[in-house]
Amino acid sequence: MTAPAAARRDYSLTGPEAGRAAARGLVEADWYRPPIDPDRLHELAARTNRRAAVDTALWLGLLAGTGALAWLALGSWWAVPAFAAYGALYGGAADSRWHEMGHGTAFRTGWLNDAVYYLAAFMLLREPTLWRWSHARHHTDTIVVGRDPEIAFPRPTGRWSLAATFLGLRTIPPMVGRIFKHAAGRLDGAAKAFVPRSDWPRVVWEARVYAAVLVGVAAWAAAAGTVVPLLYVGLPSIYGVWLLVFFGITQHAGLQEDVLDHRLNTRTVYMNPVLRFLYSNMNYHVEHHMFPTVPYHALPALHAEVGRHLAPAVPGVGAAYREILASLACQARDPAYETDRTVPGADEAGGGPGRIDVGQYLWARARSLDSGSRFDLGPAADLPTGGMRRVDVDDRTFAVCRLDDGALAVTDGICTHGRAHLAEGRVAGCEIECPKHNGRFDARTGQPVRRPARTPIAVYEAEVVDGRILSCLAPRNRQGTDAA
Ligand code: FES
């Protein structure tokens, strides 16, 4: 006699699974991270405008080129492959651009990331602010049922549901409906669950812009008596989505739910250079989830650095699809089925699953001086430009960093958005970037300058005396004020 199949779970963010996840300690929990030398991580997290500009120009150039070919081929069958390529670049390859720009890791210059982010978000019909918060939640509670709004393959995903996903029929109509609902000023419960109230008006206005553009293009097509305008704007989000799904399914489908180790719920798949260009190296997906400060172009190097601590990468797209389709077929019969992953033991990995191995970032425990009125935070010479270290004082944690202009800064060590140690992030100019969701703070004032960070961190005076960094560790700014 076979065991009865497990009941289908409620994947909504407003159902009973949200409470269950919290009760099981799966919400905003500590996740396993493999050991890596902080200076090497700092090198890998470096940004350049040039690399992202070349890749973005190539993507947009191909988009314009295939669009022009489709225009020239209108009225002939040659328009079909031309539009197919245009759609794949528009509704498929835009996904990894949207993703990378949303993390703010592609370009060194922030507004360039934002510009491409908004363009790609529109191509995918993703409301920009809503999806920024959605993706932050996805990184916080990856594939935790009831918490992660981006679980693309809830169990069971049968063959018809899978086919509908590849055709965009399962995802795009609800997204369009949501845009018009938000444009009307009505946010759904899921959006309210992860978008802060202060950003609700922004969600509404962005939805109105999207709705206006889509209605405008549809009206243009109706007035001209041709579908051609919609083939360029609007419909490619549907007829090109297959490429998005082709890549996206490899990320988490069929793997484990409700675990605190990306090695168990995320897949790294080796792909050829063409696919890696179209997918912006997101095939190194385990590494990306563990170290989201590392830009897409450095993910292969990061993989070389930490790969021995991860489950073996899937050797190719074919192998990944064999594994995924077999797993989805099993889950269609028994939703509790999931693909096993063999991960290196704690000894090899340098830390057991389910916790962040923070020790590697701990630079020093501060020495108390002058009866506790000042603290010795360590040697100044050991902190290079752009370097950042964690220093603990009793149960308090601080980040000590040398900004790109050479100045020292001492700030609170824990991000005000989540519970991430800022010293595991990076210094960018005069800002500190959080390792968990790429939120940023001005290291001189403590003010948040990039979402999802919205609440200031405390900053402290520091001076160098006889080569040692000394601070009284009394905050010199107001903190705890929501900056939104
Ligand atoms: Fe989210 Fe720091 S924990 S930005």
Q: Could you read off the pLDDT of 159-185 as tens digits, one per residue?
A: 999 999 999 999 999 999 999 999 999
Length of the chain as a residue count: 484
Q: What is the pLDDT of residue 366?
A: 73
Total structural domains in the chain? Answer: 2
Indicate whether 199 belongs to any domain. yes
Cα torsion 427, 444, 197, 204: sign: negative
Indicate whether this model's pTM tops 0.75. Answer: yes
Q: Mean pLDDT lowest for which of 70-79, 224-233, 331-340?
A: 331-340
Residue 16 half-sphere exposure, CB side, CA atoms within 13 Å?
3
| Distant-in-sequence, close-in-space partners of 439: CB < 8 Å, separation ≥ 6 | 415, 417, 433, 448, 450, 451, 452, 453
Last-in-domain residue among 288, 316, 333:
333
The verdict on 311 and 219 lying in the same domain is yes
Tokens found for residue 354: 């389910």
Indicate whether 477 belongs to any domain. no
The verdict on 283 and 393 lying in the same domain is no
Q: How far is CA 136 from the centre of its chain?
A: 6
Which ligand 1 atom sits closest to the C-alpha of 451? 4
pLDDT beyond 70 at 138: yes
Domain residues for 64?
16-333
Cα torsion 7, 11, 17, 23: sign: positive
- Looking at per-residue pLDDT, the higher value among 419 and 435 belongs to 435
The verdict on 26 and 133 lying in the same domain is yes
pLDDT beyond 50 at 296: yes
The verdict on 251 and 137 lying in the same domain is yes
pLDDT beyond 60 at 54: yes
Q: What is the pLDDT of residue 1?
A: 40
Indicate whether 342 belongs to any domain. no
452 cis-preceded (ω within 30 degrees of 0)? yes
Q: What is the pLDDT of residue 85?
A: 98
The verdict on 231 and 264 lying in the same domain is yes
Last-in-domain residue among 333, 366, 400:
333
Indicate whether 6 belongs to any domain. no
Q: What is the pLDDT of residue 201?
A: 98
The verdict on 70 and 118 lying in the same domain is yes
Strand partners, 440: 433, 450
The verdict on 285 and 384 lying in the same domain is no
Which ligand 1 atom sits closest to the C-alpha of 420? 3
pLDDT beyond 90 at 442: yes
Indicate whether 30 belongs to any domain. yes
Rg for the chain (alpha carbons), in Å?
Answer: 24
pLDDT beyond 80 at 346: no
Which has the closest alpha carbon to 159: 330, 9, 7, 336? 330
Q: What is the CATH number of the domain that holds 391?
A: 2.102.10.10
The verdict on 195 and 100 lying in the same domain is yes
Q: What is the pLDDT of residue 235?
A: 98
Which ligand 1 atom sits closest to the C-alpha of 418? 3
434 alpha carbon to ligand 1 midpoint, in Å?
6
The verdict on 191 and 55 lying in the same domain is yes
Tokens found for residue 104: 């703010």
- Residue of 28, 138, 289, 437 best suited for mutating to test ligand 1, as the one with most atoms within 8 Å of CB: 437
Mean pLDDT (whole number) for 315-334 = 97
Mean pLDDT (whole number) for 373-390 = 90
User: How confident is the prediction for the chain on average, in pLDDT?
Assistant: 92
Indicate whether 483 belongs to any domain. no
The verdict on 364 and 329 lying in the same domain is no
Q: What is the pLDDT confidence band of residue 367, given thresholds at 50, 70 and 90?
A: confident
